[in-house]
Amino acid sequence: MHVVMLNLCVHKNLMAFDTPSVFHYQPTPIKAKVIATFEDGVKCDEITNKGEVILNQTTFYAEMGGQCADTGKMLNEFTELEVMHVCKAPHQQHLHIVKVMKGQVKIGDEFTLMVDTHKRSLIQNNHTATHLLQKALKNILGDHVSQAGSYVDDERLRFDFTHPQKMTEQQMRQVEDQVNQQIFNGLNVDIQIMNKDEAMQSGAMALFDEKYGDEVRVVSVGDYSKELCGGCHVSNSAQIGLFKIESEESVGSGVRRIEAVTAQKAYVALKKNEETLQTVSDILKIKNKNEMIEKVNHFVDEMNEIKKQRDQYLDKLNSIEAKEKFKNIEDIHGVQFLFVKENKDIATSKQKTFELRDQLDHGIVIMISENSQKISYFVGLTPSMVQSGYKAGDIIKTINTVIGGRGGGKPDFAQGGCASAELIDTAIEQIKALF
C-alpha cells in the first residue's frame, strides 16, 4: 500500500495539481466538493471503480507523522464511496484512495464525509498515550531518551527511543504505572497553534531531525507533557481508559522499541494475564491466589532439590561408565589411547570427551556418536600430548580423509561429522599408527 501511495504522489498529473484543500481535525460529518479525480495518479473525468479524489475540504486524516490514515465513507444521493486510505499529495492536499460502491464520481460532485469515528477515537487514544509514554520514559530512564520513530493506529502504538540497554522489569512497571496515573488524573489536552520559537521556549518537545514551519501545533496533556505534533488526540487523558505495555525490545544499536495497547485492548491483555494465572493456579491446585507466590516458590525449591539429586545420580552413573570405558584404554608406546562409541546427542558426547580426556595422564580420547542418523566425532588430547607436538585438528583431518567427513578445531580438542561411520575402524588404525 505505501509503495503504491508513493508512486501515485510522484505522478506528473498529481505533481501539477496545486489547487489547495483544507483539512479539519474534527471528524464530524461535513459536505465537501470534488476538485480533482485520478486513477493511479493519472487525471480522469470520472471514477467508476477505484481511484483517487481530492476535495475542497476534508475531515479524513492523511497518514503522516507516524499516525495511520482515517477510513470511512463519502455519500450523496447517487453515489457511495469507501475511503480505503488517505495520503498527502505533492502539494499537501489530502489524497483519498476510494472504491466506488455505488454510482460514479466526477469533479464538482458534492459528498457528505463520514469518517469512521470509532476507529479515529482508538487512534487518538494511542497517539495521546504515546506522548505520555515518551514523557514517562524520560522521567524514569533519563533525559537521554529521545524519539527514534513511532507509529500509531487503531490497534496499538509503537514507540522507538534511544536507550543503551534493555529496560528492567521494574523500569517498565514504573513507566506503565506513571502513564496510567496520568490517564486516571483526567488531564485536559490543550492544542494551540504557536510560533515555532515561542513553542520551543515554552518547553515543547520536538523531533531533532524534523523540519517545522514558522507556525507549529503544540499538544499539551495537562502540565505533564508538551510536544509539537500534527496528529489527532483525545480531549482528556481519561478517554484513553487504560495503558498496557506488551513488549520491549532492541531494534538497532542504542535504540529500543515499546509496543503497547490502550482502552479495551489493554483490558483484554490484562484479562489474558489473569486467565494465565488462573490456569497456573488450577495446575498447581492453588485455591487462594494470594498463596500463589509462596506455592510456586515451594515447587521451585522442590524442583531444585530433585535436580540436585538427579545430578548426583548422574555423576555416579558417569563415574561408573567412565570406569567401564577406562578398561578399554590401550597403551601405545606410552600413549593412553581410548576409543569410545555412543548414541548420545552432540552436546553430551562433546562434554563426555572433555571429561574422559581430563582423567588421562598422557593420551587421546576419540568419541564417535550417532544420533538422529548423524555421525559426529570428537578428539581430545591431554596437555602433555599437545606439548609433544600432537594436534587434535590434525587427527580430525585424518578421520575426514578416510570417511569423507568435515571438521576441525584446536590443538587440544576438535570435532567433525559425516554421513556414515562405515570406515571409522580403518581411520582408527591409521591414527594408532601415529604413536
Asked if 179 and 302 sit in the same domain, the reply is no
Query: Cα(12)–Cα(5) distance, rounded to whole angstroms?
Result: 14
Q: Is 30 helix (H, G, I), strand (E, B) or coil?
A: strand
Q: Which domain holds residue 389?
A: 328-432
Question: Hey, what amino acid is at 324?
Answer: E
As given in the structure block, the three cell numbers for residue 326 are: 577406562
Query: Cα(259)–Cα(249) distance, rounded to whole angstroms?
Result: 9
The domain boundary, picked from 81, 115, 149, lies at 115
> Which residue is it, cell 591409521?
430
Residue (of 326, 345, 340, 342) closest to 428 by Cα position: 340
Q: Is 222 helix (H, G, I), strand (E, B) or coil?
A: coil
Asked if 104 and 164 sit in the same domain, the reply is no
Asked whether residue 388 is assigned to any structural domain, the reply reads yes
Asked whether residue 275 is assigned to any structural domain, the reply reads no
What pTM value is reported for the model?
A: 0.71
Asked if 126 and 259 sit in the same domain, the reply is yes
Asked if 126 and 264 sit in the same domain, the reply is yes
Asked whether residue 278 is assigned to any structural domain, the reply reads no
Q: Is 145 helix (H, G, I), strand (E, B) or coil?
A: coil
Domain count of the fold of the chain:
4
Asked whether residue 274 is assigned to any structural domain, the reply reads no
Residue (of 271, 273, 300) closest to 284 by Cα position: 300
Say how many Å lie between the first and final Cα of the chain, rounded: 70
In sequence order, the 6+-apart residues with CB closer than 8 A to the CB of 294 are: none
Asked whether residue 170 is assigned to any structural domain, the reply reads yes
Asked whether residue 340 is assigned to any structural domain, the reply reads yes
> Which residue is it, cell 496533556?
221
CATH number at residue 377: 3.10.310.40
Asked if 146 and 230 sit in the same domain, the reply is yes
Asked whether residue 202 is assigned to any structural domain, the reply reads yes
Asked if 135 and 261 sit in the same domain, the reply is yes
Query: Cα(425)–Cα(159) distance, rounded to whole angstroms?
Result: 61
Q: pLDDT value at position 204?
A: 87
Q: Is 385 helix (H, G, I), strand (E, B) or coil?
A: helix
Asked if 305 and 350 sit in the same domain, the reply is no
Would you give the DSSP letter of residue 238?
G
Q: pLDDT value at position 168?
A: 96
Q: Name residues of the chain where pLDDT drops below 70.
A: 1-11, 208-210, 289, 314-324, 372
**H-type alpha helices, 105-260:** 117-141, 169-184, 196-201
Asked whether residue 318 is assigned to any structural domain, the reply reads yes
Asked if 42 and 127 sit in the same domain, the reply is no
Asked if 215 and 315 sit in the same domain, the reply is no
Q: pLDDT value at position 375?
A: 87
Asked if 290 and 237 sit in the same domain, the reply is no
As given in the structure block, the three cell numbers for residue 80 are: 457511495
Query: Cα(123)–Cα(125) distance, rounded to whole angstroms?
Result: 5
Q: pLDDT value at position 10?
A: 56
As given in the structure block, the three cell numbers for residue 263 are: 482502552
Asked if 165 and 245 sit in the same domain, the reply is yes
CATH number at residue 40: 2.40.30.130
Q: Which tens digits make up the pLDDT trace of 237-282?
A: 999 999 999 999 999 999 999 999 999 999 999 999 888 888 888 8
Q: Is 166 helix (H, G, I), strand (E, B) or coil?
A: coil
Asked if 253 and 289 sit in the same domain, the reply is no
> Which residue is it, cell 495511520?
68
CATH number at residue 156: 3.30.980.10
**H-type alpha helices, 220-364:** 263-283, 292-326, 346-357
Average pLDDT, the chain: 90
Classify burial at 135, counting beta carbons within 10 Å of its beta carbon; exposed 0-12, middle 13-18, buried 19 or more.
Answer: buried
The domain boundary, picked from 63, 92, 115, lies at 115
Residue 260 near residue 129 (C-beta atoms within 8 A): yes
Q: pLDDT value at position 72?
A: 98
